[in-house]
Amino acid sequence: MLEINTIRAGYDRTTVLHGVTVAVPKDGVAAVLGHNGAGKSTLLRAAMGLIKPTGGTILLHGEDVTRLAPHQRVARGMAYVPQGQQSFPHLTTAENLQLVADGRPDGKEAIAEALDLFPVLRELSGRRAGLLSGGQRQQLAIARALITRPRLLLLDEPTEGIQPSVVAEIEETILALTRRGGLSVLLVEQHVGFAMRAAQQYYVLEAGRVTSSGAGGTESEQTVRAALSV
Amino acid sequence: MTVILNQSFTGISIGAVLLLIALGLTLTFGQMGVINMAHGEFIMAGAYTTYVLQKSISSAGLSLLVALPLAFLVAGAMGALLEWLLIRRLYTRPLDTLLVTWGVSLMLQQLARDIFGAPNVQTHAPDLLIGNVSVAGVTLANNRLFILGLALLCVLGLTLILRLTSLGRRIRAVVQNRDLAEVSGIATERVDRTTFFIGSGLAGVAGVALTLVGPIGPTMGTNYIVDAFLVVVVGGIGQLKGSVITAFGLGVLQSVLEYSTTVSVAKVVVLVAIVAFLQWRPQGLYTLRTRSLA
């Protein structure tokens, strides 16, 4: 589905990723784990096209998308939920969703499906996104990404900084989405337990390099924890 | 009492002109943050479009009606071209943008001098817009009423576009979070160009209106550009309603002061008042409040 091959990327003159190779299986979940500053978010930003890699390639369904703009990648079935519950703060919840649905023939149905996943957003449709709680904004962010009907979803720490009562809800929704089929996920996560429950494949990133990788599942949890504690 | 009402109407009509010239800037400067010093020359382009049209269409009324959409297109195309050629390369360098667009403004003024000559030219106002109407002892000039109506119509149109259309949603989204808009599937560069097209087009419309109250010349835009920026800054960057209130507020203040003092003193007092106001509220009249700006 997605093949990131020996990608090198960074900001200005600082190289953050030193030849990272990560693959997301079709209809499967690959988790990227690592400490703060390891380059996890940079990897997703490079995969989405927000930063231009200085080396390596990114293939989506075998097509080289390395030089495509982010919106062109969205048109090819990629969606991205960035870190930090990002939204368009001065647009209402409904406008945040409608914005992505605009121009899509199945926009109405896509919004309805996204609202079924996160019913709380229905009650908040008229409220400006900047006034929502962190958890609500993250639900809005995931809903917005799903409206594009992606085949590949990039999730950057979807439960970070969210009140515990909503974390479980978001985790369950993500697991349900991945089990439904037709969606591949590249998940960046600090919570090892959740990441390993969701993933078929894991990668541990340290200082911009993959230092450990293997099959996912709860049985690999200890291996990953050991790799991260080094 | 009549004097007060007359001066108020004069103030409102000055405010309407201020609003028209500032409206395009609420998009290009207020929404996009681009300091486009050539905005005044888009006003000039709109005015000259009216002048050229009057040479081929003898009816002043018809030529004015045709000039409004045509000036919008001409000035809008000039703005979109400027954005594509220069400004899009300078989005992260505001000072360079200011200098480059100032250079473009000088070039456009010279171009106008080469084509139309240095002396000012004049257009004929339609008969309907010549003369006054009297309401309760207050004399209202027809051309000023027309400009007021046009300004309000443009504000309404722009508000509806920004609030209710998909283009408006995209414009607001790109302003609020460019990266997030891009990864949400929005072609942000195209939105930038469209925004610039509309903002510059509105300057063209203002240029048409200005032909009704003054002469047309290569430097006419420079006379208005500072006032236009003042309206947007005092109103609050990115806030349409702030610009509307500020334009009419400044217009009435200026008109009342002009009546009790002189034109020059009124100008000085208004500028001092603006400086004092911005010391007190640097963010302008209106700001957007949110729980988080992320």
pLDDT of residue A193: 87
Domain that holds residue A29: 2-86+149-229
Answer yes or no: is B291 within a domain: no
Answer yes or no: is B288 within a domain: no
pLDDT of residue A42: 94
Answer yes or no: is B290 within a domain: no
**pLDDT tier at B209, thresholds 50, 70, 90:** very high
State the best of B92, B179, B183, B188 to mutate against chain A, taking most chain A CBs within 10 Å: B183
Phi, psi of B217 (to 5 degrees): -150, 165
| Inter-chain CB proximity B290 and A89 less than 8 Å | yes
User: H/E element holding A228?
Assistant: helix A221-229
**Smallest Cβ distance to A90: which of B183, B187, B288?**
B288
**Phi and psi based region of residue A210 (left: phi greater than 0; alpha: psi -120 to 50; beta: remaining):** beta
**Smallest Cβ distance to A89: which of B176, B179, B182?**
B176
pLDDT of residue A168: 86
Question: What is the reported pTM?
Answer: 0.87
pLDDT of residue B291: 42
In terms of Cβ atoms closer than 10 Å to its own Cβ (0-12, 13-18, 19+), residue B101 is buried
State the best of A100, A142, A147, A160 to mutate against chain B, taking most chain B CBs within 10 Å: A100
| Inter-chain CB proximity B294 and A71 less than 8 Å | no
State the best of B184, B186, B241, B291 to mutate against chain A, taking most chain A CBs within 10 Å: B184
**Smallest Cβ distance to A144: which of B172, B184, B188?**
B184
Residue A214's beta-bridge partner residues? A202
How many structural domains does chain B have? 1
Please give the share of chain B, as a percent, with pLDDT higher than 70. 98
The per-residue pLDDT for range A80-96, each reduced to its tens digit, is 999 999 999 999 999 99
Q: Which residue has the higher pLDDT, B165 or B32?
A: B165
Q: How far is A43 from chain B (nearest CA, A)?
A: 15
Answer yes or no: is A99 within a domain: no
Answer yes or no: is B287 within a domain: no
Please check the confidence at residue B92 and state whether its pLDDT lies above 90: no
Query: Count of A–B CB contacts within 8 Å?
Result: 86
pLDDT of residue B294: 34
Residues 80-139 of A with CB under 8 A from B: 80, 82, 84-91, 95, 98-100, 102-103, 128, 130-132, 134, 137
Please check the confidence at residue B94 and state whether its pLDDT lies above 90: no
pLDDT of residue A230: 58
Mean pLDDT of B220-229: 89
Give the CATH number, domain containing residue B83.
1.10.3470
Q: Are B250 and B234 in contact (CB under 8 A)?
A: yes
Buried b (16+ CB within 10 A) or exposed e, A108-135: eebbeebbeebebbeebeeebbbbbbbb
**Smallest Cβ distance to A91: which of B173, B179, B291?**
B173
Please check the confidence at residue A162 and state whether its pLDDT lies above 90: no
Q: Are B43 and B210 in contact (CB under 8 A)?
A: yes
| Inter-chain CB proximity B185 and A82 less than 8 Å | no
Q: Which residue has the higher pLDDT, B204 or B6?
A: B204
pLDDT of residue A152: 94
| Pairing mode, strands A184-188 and A152-156 | parallel
How many Cα neighbours within 13 Å face the side chain of A133? 11
Residues 20-59 of A with CB under 8 A from B: 48, 50
Helices (H), chain B: 2-25, 39-56, 60-85, 94-116, 142-164, 166-176, 178-183, 188-210, 220-235, 240-260, 263-280
Answer yes or no: is A78 within a domain: yes
Domain that holds residue B232: 2-280
Supply the ipTM of this predicted assembly. 0.91
Euclidean distance between CA atoms B262 and B128, whole angstroms: 31
Give the CATH number, domain containing residue A155.
3.40.50.300
Residue A4's beta-bridge partner residues? A22, A58
Q: How far is A222 from chain B (nearest CA, A)?
A: 35
The per-residue pLDDT for range B141-181, each reduced to its tens digit, is 899 999 999 999 999 999 999 999 999 999 999 988 889 99
For all residues of chain B together, what is the average pLDDT? 90
pLDDT of residue A94: 96
How many structural domains does chain A have? 1
Q: How far is B195 from chain A (nearest CA, A)?
A: 16
Q: Which residue has the higher pLDDT, A29 or B136?
A: A29
Shortest CA distance to A46 belongs to which of A1, A100, A88, A6? A6
Listing DSSP states for A64-127 in one string gives E-TTS-HHHHHHTTEEEE-SS----TTSBHHHHHHHHHTT-TTHHHHHHHHHHHSTHHHHTTTS
Mean pLDDT of B49-77: 93
Please give the share of chain B, as a percent, with pLDDT higher than 90. 62
State the best of A44, A72, A76, A88 to mutate against chain B, taking most chain B CBs within 10 Å: A88
Q: Is B294 helix (H, G, I), strand (E, B) or coil?
A: coil
Q: How far is A75 from chain B (nearest CA, A)?
A: 7
> Can you read off the two tokens belonging to residue B101?
């667009």
Chain A residues touching residue B184 (CB < 8 angstroms): 71, 74, 99-100, 144-145, 148
| Inter-chain CB proximity B180 and A87 less than 8 Å | yes
Q: Are A172 and A139 in contact (CB under 8 A)?
A: no
Maximum distance among all alpha carbons in chain B?
60
pLDDT of residue B288: 60
Euclidean distance between CA atoms B270 and B250, whole angstroms: 7
Chain B residues touching residue A94 (CB < 8 angstroms): none
The per-residue pLDDT for range B225-272, each reduced to its tens digit, is 988 899 999 998 777 889 999 999 999 998 888 888 888 898 899 899
Answer yes or no: is A144 within a domain: no
Listing DSSP states for A128-147 in one string gives BGGGS-HHHHHHHHHHHHHH
Q: Is B101 helix (H, G, I), strand (E, B) or coil?
A: helix
Q: How far is B260 from chain A (nearest CA, A)?
A: 43
Residue with tokens 């400027």: B82
